[in-house]
Every structure is written in structure tokens, then in C-alpha cells.
Structure 1
Amino acid sequence: MHVAMIVSTPMPPEEGIGYYTYNLSKELQERGHRITIVTRGGLKGMSATHDGLEIKKVPYIPAYPFHVDLHGIFLRRRLRQLGPDIVHTHTPLTPPVDIDIPVVSTIHTSVVEDANQTDSIRPGALAHRFLTRVTSRRTIAAQAESATELATVAHSVKEELATHFGLSGIHVVGNGVNISEFDGVSDTNERFGLFVGRLSYRKGIADLLNAWEQLPDEQRIPLKIVGKGPLREQLEDQLSGTGLSGDVSFLGHLPRADLVRLYQQATLFIVPSHYEGLPTVLLEAMAARTPVISTAVSGALDVIDDGENGILVPARAPEEMSEAVLRLLRDPEARKRLAARGRETVEREYTWDAVADRYLDLYETSMNA
């Protein structure tokens, strides 16, 4: 089967949806299917390969708010040239596909909730929120109309799509990790907390810093923050007014091997988000046998059974997050138990093998419709 994967994010991947598309593509390719990833390029577009995957970067003109429509013209032309058996789009901000073959669309986020979490104080945030809402409503509605089958990553996103767009019949396929990547142990005597993700408002990193500041001095361990994004300068400014400057380090974007090593070495992993779909980093930390603390939002509710395979705390509640961190720091047996059960959860439900099985079933249903 020849599958054309359509995505709007960079390839090779740098963020969540890109990694999702890449890992699913690798799993399907290893099963003998031909995969072509189609994404945005420059004005001319280009062809490339990454880890054996065929990548087509079609022309993209950032002429807001018409960028998605213009990109769609070039995208549909390229799809006719490729002649795939099925098209699999990964929304948001991918153009609708008007083509006479089956189309499966994974809607990773409603975008409406993403826009609602934008920091309205930051210059340009209100305009960004408005344009995002308008563009997402139009593109998601068009995607839903053109798709043979719809999927998403978490039950919370399914509910948002029903509420905001009136969509039904959506399959929840989840997210996945490569379990074998996190096998083995990377020993260290260092104790530290770990955050991995984009440095943006809805990730709740400011709450995490507040929580860390509330830890008793004698109990506080270093906090390592991995990722890049628009809030780095603001977060560093927040640190300058506290006593945390020696305890918190911003590591930027790391090579994959270095990131896996940090997952394995971390004392605990924190997801402080105000909103998520189903974050890959949460599953990766659990796969690495690192105990996790997450805000009780969105996809985390699908994965974490509070107190059994992780800890859930309310969003925007630094004091409760700090209390949860302190409890785990004081209880190594609890950390060990949560780590083991977290790994079991991922092995049982959130491998790319399991996710690929669900998609292949959807492809078959779509092609027989």
C-alpha cells in the first residue's frame, strides 16, 4: 500500500505532530508499505529522504490568512503526481484534500482550545488567537468534509471536536512510543527533575517554576528544561527574580540520544500543561521508567490512573504541584512503583505497533467504504 502522509510541520521532525507522523511512517514502512511524507517547503519545494523515508516538500507561501489555501493548490498537484492508494492528513493547518481516493484525517487538536490558552498579554497574541481560530475552524471543517474516516489522539480532543465543530464518528487511536529506545539503564548519581516540550504559554512552565520555588531549600533538586520556543526570554526573566537561577537550566533542543539519556536519568518528570492532546513526552518518560507528575488535563486523563502509574494535579496550581513533587522526592518506593506501572501502561497500550494496527484497520475501512 502506498500512503501519502500530509503534515504542516518541519521534516525531519522537531515537534510533536512531526514526530507522530515520522514514527507512524517508520512503523508502516517496516511492515512493507510505501510511505511518502508531504509537507511544507520553500517557494520552490524539494525532495529529500530521512531515515529511509521519502519526503516531498511542496511550495509554501506564508501569505496569511490565505497560506493554507495556497499551499493546498501545490499539495493537490503533487498528490496527483504521486498516485498513492490512500492519503493520511495530520491536522491542524494542513489543506483539505479534494482527491478521488480514500482520505483518513487525524485531527491532533481542535486548535480552538490551543488558541484559548494563548497568553493574551504578549504582543500580537490577540491577533494570533483570532487568526488561529478563524483558520482552524475553516480548515478542520473542510478536512472533516473531505475525509473518509476521522481520527484523533485522545478522548478529550474528540469531545472538543464534537462541541466546537459538531463532528461525530471520530476514532480515538492514541499516541505511541518506541519502547526499545528506552530499554537499558543510563546510570547517574545526579538527582533532577525534567521538563521536555515547547516553551509556550499553554505548557504551564511558569507554573512549574513557581512550584519549584516553593520546594524547601533542603529538598529542592535541579530542574532541567529541554526545548525551545517564544517564552524562553520571559521565563529566564521570571527566574531572575527568584532564588532559582542556580537550580534551573534551559538546555534548548537536544540530540535524540541525549534526550533519551535524560529521560532515563531523571528522578521525576513533570508535565505542567494547561492544555494538551496526548503529549508524546509523557509516554516517553513513562517508557523510560521515570515517575511522572502531570496536570489533570486532556490526554493525560486517558493515560494516568492517579496514584497508580503516575500523579495527577490540577492545572494552574503550582502549590499542589510542589506538594506532589515533594511527596515523591521523599518516597523512593513510591517513585519505583509508579515508574514500573507507567512502563507497563505504555507497553500495553501506547506502542507504535499498537497505533499502526489501529490505523491499518482505519485504512482498510476507508478503502472499502
Structure 2
Amino acid sequence: MTGHSKTIVFFSRYIPSMGGIENYTHSLAKKLIELGNNVLVITTDGEPGISCEDGIQVCRLRKISLLNGRYPIPNLVGLYKKIIPLLNGYNDTCIVLNGRYYVLSNIGARIANLMGLTPILIDHSSSFIPTKSSVLSSLLKNAEIVTTNLLKRYNINYYGVSRMSSKWLSTFDINSKGEINNAIDVEAFNELNSGRLFLNRGNRLIITYAGRLIGEKGVLQVANLACIFPTSIDVIIAGSGPLEDTLTQLSKQYNNLHYVGRLSHPDLSALLNQTDVFCFPSRYPEGMPTCLLEAAACKCALVTLANGGTDEIIPDPSYGFVLKSGDDSELAALIERFIDNPSLYKTCASREYEHVLQAFSWNQTALKLLEAFER
């Protein structure tokens, strides 16, 4: 890797929108700046305009929002005339596309090739998006195939955010060149701790779910544990999404189920530092869930399904608990074991904390990205 600074340009979803890609881009951008590089983020999130945020140049584009804001499409009027002169103002430019689904990634690929550059695309998925509707699932599958085929017109170097993401790319006859994995600054995340007290801790096991409130992520399955174990556990649900009203009503029915809404990062750090077991039985096509890394950083035991990044975050059963079927009975049986034998989850939590501390730093991920541009 050369020692001179680069300008890294991300075409990506970005904060203040909530999600794994948004947090990934923001955290990686901050680390790249610490390492002496310039960073420009081109995004469809937030109010249109150009600003400097945390030392990061951010260009927010006008957009049309589909699927309740989950799928933004940039307004194409005058788009290329705006972006290309902006990029021409930088030297040694490297372009990163975060995610295959988005129209913005196609735009970024086209602009990169017009400038004679080969962008890096980091894939953040591990299967097609499942929904309860077979019709919608089919539409989303076909949309992903179409957007991916459009991307394949361009000269792009592909990477996965996890090994499973890299493997998933082969579904589209794309060869991944490796992984530029998700990460966490363990010390910084714990220092964010707001000190907010969520429960007066007694002898009950505290189980937490934090993430988007959709059925595919398993949030209702976690909430149901409060009904199964009414006197021995407390279940805390944090996040926002379509199931907010359902969880609000359920929390009124069960005294040991607590829905706390969407949390700031300081409050999330506080919550996870009060949690014994972080439960995330997601069937969504995760790349490498940030929430698992955040929970591990706070010494929570992890319970999840085999999904994107799971085999890297939990390399064997001594680090955490990967459900086989993920059905209600299997999850309940595991929680019962924790209640009867707390050392079972505490030992894994300590081992997992050390693993995440050593293997998932933003410094390592940033260096992987810079090295990828030197190949």
C-alpha cells in the first residue's frame, strides 16, 4: 500500500437513515480520515445539499422514495453534471459502491468508468429478501437480478462484507475478490454509554433485541419469550419499523416485555451494557449485522441464526449460540438452559468480547479497503 493520501468516494446509503450500510459507511469514512485520506459521501439520505460533517464531505441528492423510504431513487435531472465536476476537484480518487440493490450504485459505477476508474462494490447481503407475500418476494428477487445485471455492464471489483456475502455473489456469476468486513470500535462504543437505566435489575435474565422491527428479523419471536418465561426473564425490544404498534400492545399485556422505541447510540450502548443475552434470530439476508458486533462489544452473549457473517463472528460454539432451526421451541429450550445455568452464557460472552476486540476493528477494515485499491 502506498503512503500518500487518497480521496475515497462512497456512493451509499448514509446517516441519519438507520441501517447497517449507513453505519458501515459512516464508521469506515471516519477511520479513513484518521488515516490521512479525504472522504466524500454521495447519498440519497437527508436534506439535499453539500456539507462537511465530522470532517467528511457529504453530497445529499434529491430523490424519490419507494417502499416507505427503504428504496430511494436519485433525481436524475442534472445529476451527472453535478457529480462529475465535483469528483474532478479531487486527486487520486477511489470510488466505493455500497450494496448492489440501489440505483445509486449503478450511477456510481457509470461515473467511475466514465472517469477511467474501476470502483469497488461491497456487497451487504447473503440471499434474496424474504417477505410474507410470495408475489412481493418474486418482484424483489427479479428486481435484484435486474439491478445486478445492469451493474455487470461496468468494470467493477466486487467484495463481500462477509464470507457469506462473497459466496452469495457467485449466484449472479460474480467472483468476489475477498472481504472488507463490518467492524466496531469497542472502546468508543462503550464510552458512548449514556448511563440510562432501563430496568431495576433483579435476579431475572435480561434478553434484548435491537434492530428494525420487521417479522423477517425475528423480533416477534424474541418478544414471545416474555410470555413463555413470565417470572424469570425480562425482554427489552429497541428499534423502529412496521411492527411498532404490535410491540406497543404486547408490552401492555406482559409486565416483563419492554418496548423502548428507537434509541440513540449512547442509549443503545447503555442498554446493551445492561443486557445478559442479545437475541437476533433473523432470517433476513444480512451481510454482517452491526447489532451483533455492538452486543458482543458490551459483553452480551449472542443468540442468532446462521446468516451473513455469523460464522466469522461466532467461529465455534464456545463463542456464542447459533440456532439450527430457529423455531420457538428451540429458542425457548436454549433460554431455559441459560436460566438454569448462567455460567453457560457468561463464559461465551467473555470469549466473544475478546474475539470481536481483536478481529473486527475499523482500522483493519480501512486498511483492507486501501489495499484493495492498490491491487
Question: TM-score band, normalised by the shorter chain?
Answer: 0.7 to 0.9
**For 1:118-172, what per-residue CA distance to the aligned partner results, in whole angstroms no more than 9, with x for missing partners?**
122xxxx834x34433332222233344243111112222222212x11113412
Q: Which residue of the other structure, out of 12, 16, 33, is the alignment partner of 2:16? A: 12
2:122 is aligned with 1:106: yes
d(CA) in 1 for partners of 2:80 and 2:327? 44
Deviates more, 1:20-29 or 1:72-81: 72-81
Q: Secondary structure of the residue that 1:265 maps to in structure 2? A: coil
- Kept in 1, the 8 Å contact 2:122–2:180? The answer is no
2:173 — aligned with what? 166
1:255 — aligned with what? 264
2:228 — aligned with what? 214
Amino acid at match of 1:86: C
- Inter-CA distance 336–53: structure 2 relative to 1 (3 Å threshold): same
d(CA) in 1 for partners of 2:304 and 2:72? 35
2:294 — aligned with what? 284
- Inter-CA distance 59–69: structure 2 relative to 1 (3 Å threshold): closer
2:3 — aligned with what? none
**For 1:307-349, what per-residue CA distance to the aligned partner results, in whole angstroms no more than 9, with x for missing partners?**
3111111344111111112212332322321111111111221
Residue 13 of structure 1 deviates from its aligned partner by: 4.3
1:341 — aligned with what? 351
2:348 is aligned with 1:364: no
2:190 is aligned with 1:180: no
- Inter-CA distance 244–346: structure 2 relative to 1 (3 Å threshold): farther
Q: Which runs of 4+ in 1 moved over 6 A?
A: 184-188
Residue 244 of structure 1 deviates from its aligned partner by: 5.3
d(CA) in 1 for partners of 2:210 and 2:45? 27
Deviates more, 1:290-299 or 1:181-190: 181-190
Q: Secondary structure of the residue that 2:242 maps to in structure 1? A: coil
1:195 — aligned with what? 209
**For 1:164-187, what per-residue CA distance to the aligned partner results, in whole angstroms no more than 9, with x for missing partners?**
x11113412221001112447979
Number of corresponding residues: 348
Q: Which residue of the other structure, out of 38, 44, 49, is the alignment partner of 1:46? A: 49
d(CA) in 2 for partners of 1:329 and 1:72? 59
- Inter-CA distance 147–234: structure 2 relative to 1 (3 Å threshold): farther
Residue 249 of structure 1 deviates from its aligned partner by: 1.7
- Kept in 2, the 8 Å contact 1:207–1:316? The answer is no
- Inter-CA distance 341–79: structure 2 relative to 1 (3 Å threshold): farther
Residue 49 of structure 1 deviates from its aligned partner by: 3.0
Q: Secondary structure of the residue that 2:120 maps to in structure 1? A: strand
Deviates more, 1:195-204 or 1:89-98: 89-98
Q: Secondary structure of the residue that 1:171 maps to in structure 2? A: coil
Mapping of 1:69-148 within 5 angstroms? Answer: 70-71=75-76, 74=79, 77-83=82-88, 84=90, 85-91=93-99, 92-93=101-102, 94-96=104-106, 97-98=109-110, 99=112, 100-109=116-125, 113-114=128-129, 117-120=130-133, 126-127=135-136, 129-148=137-156
Residue 207 of structure 1 deviates from its aligned partner by: 2.0
**For 1:31-57, what per-residue CA distance to the aligned partner results, in whole angstroms no more than 9, with x for missing partners?**
110001110157x93112332322101
- Inter-CA distance 63–347: structure 2 relative to 1 (3 Å threshold): closer
Amino acid at match of 2:218: G
TM normalised by structure 1 equals: 0.85
Residue 211 of structure 1 deviates from its aligned partner by: 3.7
Residue 72 of structure 1 deviates from its aligned partner by: 9.3
Residue 272 of structure 1 deviates from its aligned partner by: 1.2
1:149 — aligned with what? 157
Amino acid at match of 1:192: I
- Inter-CA distance 206–271: structure 2 relative to 1 (3 Å threshold): same
2:32 is aligned with 1:23: no
Q: Secondary structure of the residue that 2:41 maps to in structure 1? A: strand
- Kept in 2, the 8 Å contact 1:95–1:139? The answer is no
Q: Which blocks of at least 5 consecutive residues in structure 1 are unaligned? A: none
RMSD: 2.8
Q: Which residue of the other structure, out of 318, 335, 341, is the alignment partner of 1:331? A: 341
- Inter-CA distance 211–170: structure 2 relative to 1 (3 Å threshold): farther
- Kept in 2, the 8 Å contact 1:296–1:315? The answer is no
d(CA) in 2 for partners of 1:86 and 1:138? 26
Deviates more, 1:205-214 or 1:321-330: 205-214
d(CA) in 2 for partners of 1:250 and 1:90? 31
